[in-house]
Amino acid sequence: MEKYKNLWERWADNTRRFPDKDAIVHWKAGEEPFRWSFKNLFDTANKFSVLLQKQGIKRDQVCAIIIRHNPMFFPLYLGIAGLGAIPAVLAYPNPRLHPDKFKSGVEGMSQRSGLDWIFTERDLEPIISPLVTKEGSTIKGLHFPLEWDREFTLSREDSALLDSIRGSIVETDPVLLQHSSGTTGLQKPVLLSQRAVSDHVDNYAESINLTKEDKIVSWLPLYHDMGLIAAYHVPLAYGITSIQVDPFEWVLAPSLQFEALNAEKATICWLPNFAYNFMADRIEEDEMEDISLKSLRLVINCSEPVRNESHKKFVAAFQKYGFNPLALSASYAMAETTFAATQTTPGEPIFTLEVDRESLAQGKVVPPVPGKASRVCVSSGKVIKGCVVRIVDETGKELPENGVGEIIIQSVSMFDGYRNYPEKTAEVLKDGWYYSGDYGFKLNGELFVIGRKKDIIIVAGKNIYPEDVEDAVGAVEGILPGRVIAFGEEDPELGTEEISVVAETPYEDETEKKQLIQRVRMKGTSVDMTITNVYLVPPRWLIKSSAGKPSRKANKERIAEMKDLNKQ
Amino acid sequence: MISERLKSTILKQLELEDYDIQDDTKANTVPGWDSLSHANVILAIEKEYNIRLKHIEVLKCKNIGDLQVLVDSKLS
């Protein structure tokens, strides 16, 4: 394995080794894809570095990029990194998002992350520009790089300056800032070093048996670690092709990813769990005409607890189009360790384990008990090279195999702390261990992730995982699949929590809704859970996190606000 | 050219009295045609013509002229 001083050196090496190979295939519905060869991509990145330098962008300054799916995003991002500045990708506003909400989200991020510059599109100027002039703003200015003239040749002086800057970037310098998942504006800014990302590329590539023939296909947004690290940084540093589909287009027509995959013979993709259900539900048979999924050797599930039912549904929908069930794979990943900490073995079936659900909630992994509810836990694989994973109890003591507790991680690709947020860093980073806040257990070297520690509902001393409630309610007729969240609400009289669910339904008729609430409660009873509060809401009501999943915290707060309003 | 039938289906679904829809009119410039109402507009067209439009086919339409061509191709 070659050692590089910084990522730029590594990218430049790929440019020399594979000048004409596709680095990025930019996919857009109904258009010829735009192809960046490694050479063209880096030539353009150099031009952006020069243009950025002339605009006064300096080393270590944080440069936020808010640009919708555009081929120029890629060289711009590299051009920023090539100046020793720090690119930070922020979400382009969803058309449904109110401009004020978007503005307050960017403002929150800018205050927390200390954004220096924003690179965006002219359309967003009226919304973002007031943030620059606002008192106390860290933002020095807005730029519209898609309008910049790139028709020039680098002068000898330009090249010398860039060489000198790049020659001075060392492996401990920051290379990017990514935001951990969460509600926009409250996300934590994760700073990663050159070495963290480069080492992660090598270690993760080894865990998925990556070869130079592999091709990544992704619709994942690049403001999320799964999209940015797995589907952009890994292929770029490894010297392979990444096919990038527009996330907004994917939501409207998820078959677009398969169209791109089929045309380019892609081999690997990453998906969050909800996408398995979404694709299986939304893609119609007639959209799969002439599409073969045979080239896919890995579909890696990460970013949320892996659900066995989702995998089954995906296989049932797509095996007839050449999808190999052994391509199902899983990983446990987070922004704070750059990306992955564990990975299942490519080409082998994922290890699943059926356990008694009640015992699991009490922290014990025991076989299912006849007549009682069980849960199928899906492995997220073995620990990858460069990482150590332990399960600990409340006191931080390591638990033996089968013990359920908090997952803590050590990694050579650990983040350098949350930027401008020492108190939060101290909360999660202790003695070199990252306390993930996730619950899980290990068995035979495999990690099983059960859920988020802070989301656990405690009803009269009994732990309930919201995932279990959501899975049960999601199966009730009249509830939109995947559009349910569960959380605990304090019952001051009883002195404990009660289970509440918020679920989207297309029903509008009050009688139908009453019957549906009844069915939801009965479903809860059938799996030994008393669901006290059922809030039925219309489609698209639930607030989603930056990862695209309905957010438990944000929706719980929304319900609380509504209840407060009703009391007034 | 946009047929009266397609135009009136769209306008009815969006509850618009009238709006000038030409070949190069983009969906997001028609009042009320946003990502929320999009699925209902497409559904209304499918019902009106008794045809099925694939998500991906609709996505590839850059303007309403393309949508008219798509609808015509289904009818032929």
Q: Do A540 and B52 make contact, defined as CB atoms within 8 angstroms? A: no
Q: Count the domains in chain B.
A: 1
Question: Which residue's structure tokens are 């060289």?
Answer: A75
Same domain as A517, residue A461: yes
Task: Clarify whether residues A560 and A469 are in a common domain.
Answer: yes
Q: Do the domain assignments include residue A272?
A: no
φ/ψ bin of A9: left (φ > 0), alpha (ψ from -120 to 50), beta (otherwise): alpha
Structural domain containing residue A155: 38-169
Confidence of residue A492 (pLDDT cuts 50, 70, 90): low
Same domain, A380 and A502: no
Picking from A262, A259, A257, the residue whose alpha carbon sits closest to that of residue A275 is A257
CATH classification at residue B48: 1.10.1200.10
CB contact under 8 A, B59 and A96: no
Look up the ipTM and state it: 0.73
Mean pLDDT of chain A: 91
- Give the closest-approach CA distance of B59 to chain A in angstroms: 6
Specify the number of domains making up chain A.
3
pLDDT score for A551: 86
With respect to residue A200, please indicate whether it lies within any of the assigned structural domains.
Answer: no
Residue A181 lies in a domain: no
**B61/chain A closest Cα distance in angstroms:** 7
Q: Among A114, A134, A169, which residue terminates a domain?
A: A169
Q: Which among A30, A95, A287 has the least Cβ separation from residue B55?
A: A287
pLDDT of residue B15: 87
Residue A142 in any domain: the answer is yes
Task: Give A264-292 pLDDT, tens digit per residue.
Answer: 999 999 998 888 988 998 899 999 999 99
> Which CATH number do you get for residue A464?
3.30.300.30
Question: Are A460 and A539 in the same domain?
Answer: yes
A96 shares a domain with A162: yes
End position of a domain, from candidates A453, A479, A513: A453
Walking along chain B (76 residues) 10 residues at a time, the average pLDDT comes out as 94 91 90 80 94 91 94 93
Same domain, A446 and A494: no
Residue numbers of the domain that contains B21: 4-75
Whether residues A415 and A498 share a domain: the answer is no
How is residue A107 written in tokens? Answer: 């403002």
Q: Do A255 and B55 touch (CB under 8 A)?
A: yes
Distance from CA of B7 to the nearest CA of A (A): 22
* C-alpha to C-alpha distance for A564 and A172, rounded to whole angstroms: 49
- Taking contacts as CB-CB distances below 8 angstroms, the residues of chain B near A504 are none
A396 within domain boundaries: yes
- CA-nearest of A26, A482, A2, A64 to A281 is A482
Q: By CA distance, what is A31's nearest residue in B?
A: B60
Q: Is residue A294 assigned to a domain?
A: no
**Mean local confidence (pLDDT), A11-16:** 96
Which pLDDT band holds residue A198 (cuts at 50, 70, 90)? very high
Surface of A (535-564) touching B: CB under 8 A: 540
Instruction: Report the CATH number at residue A426.
Output: 2.30.38.10
A284 touches chain B (CB under 8 A): yes
- Considering the domain boundaries, does residue A96 fall inside one? yes
Q: Which residue has the higher pLDDT, A455 or A391?
A: A391
Distance CA A393, CA A453 (A): 11
> Could you identify the residue written with the tokens 């009818």?
B75
Is B17 within 8 Å of chain A by CB? Answer: no
Residues A58 and A164 grouped into a single domain: yes
B5 touches chain A (CB under 8 A): no
Hey, which residues 285-344 in chain A have their CB within 8 Å of chain B? 286-287
Domain boundary among A453, A468, A487: A453
Residue A348 lies in a domain: yes
Nearest chain B residue to A29 by CA: give it: B60
Question: What CA–CA distance (Å, rounded) separates A254 from A258?
Answer: 8
Query: How many CA atoms within 13 Å lie on the side-chain side of B28?
Result: 7
Regarding whether A532 and A436 lie in a shared domain, the answer is: no
pLDDT at residue number A461: 65
The end-to-end CA distance of chain A, in Å, is 66
- Copy the structure tokens of residue A10: 């590594």
pLDDT surpassing 80 at residue A187: no
pLDDT value at position A182? 55
Domain co-membership, A433 together with A466: no
| Nearest CA-CA distance, residue A253 and chain B, Å | 5
> How wide is the angle at C-alpha A201 spanned by C-alphas A325 and A171, nearest 5°?
170
pLDDT digits (tens, 9 = 90+) for A475-489: 899 999 889 999 988
Does B23 touch chain A if contact means CB atoms closer than 8 Å? no
